[in-house]
Amino acid sequence: KQWYQRRVRGILLGHMSQDSSFANLRKATLEAAAKQIQEARTRRARCLNEAKFEAKTEVELFAKQKELEYQAYEKMVNNQEKNSTGDSEMNLTKEMTFITDSYRQNKEVALQFMMSAVLDIKPIIHSNYKMAM
């Protein structure tokens, strides 16, 4: 009977030591997993920051390029506008000169035509008028 009790006690102690070694193994495994998770989070954060910096740099480069294109286009439009303004003023001057000359040349003829229309009265009956009989 004592032999049996010692044997059971030895087995129980062995299981207890196995349980503690399993607990230690589990604890070590959980710590290793937590460390790997932390490293993965750190790597992920670093990658996100790098991607954010690259995207910001790319956006700034694109904005600079578009700004230069816009300035070149604006310069081209301003040059065309100056040329158009000069052409418009030149055309306006030509037209005003033509109108002034035409007015001077035809002023007497127009006045004579108006005077004859007002002073030379030719009474006629309108075609829509019906005489009452």
pTM of the shown model: 0.41
Our CA angle for 53, 55, 57, nearest 5°, is 70
108 vs 80, higher pLDDT: 108
pLDDT in tens, 22-57: 677 777 888 888 899 999 999 999 999 999 999 999
Side chain identity, residue 112? Q
Flag whether pLDDT at 79 surpasses 70. Answer: yes
Q: Which segment, 23-27, 30-34, 70-74, 121-125, is predicted with the most confidence on average?
A: 70-74
State both tokens at 78.
Answer: 């301003």
User: How large is the average pLDDT for residues 101-129?
Assistant: 84
Give the distance, in angstroms, between the CA of residue 96 and the centroid of all CA atoms in the same chain.
Answer: 45
Flag whether pLDDT at 131 surpasses 90. Answer: no
The dihedral formed by the CA atoms of 128, 129, 130 and 133, expressed in degrees to the nearest 10:
-170
- pLDDT in the model for residue 118: 82
- pLDDT in the model for residue 103: 86
d(CA 74, CA 125) in angstroms, rounded, equals: 67
DSSP symbol at 126: -
d(CA 41, CA 49) in angstroms, rounded, equals: 12
- Reference 79, options 87, 68, 67; nearest CA is 87
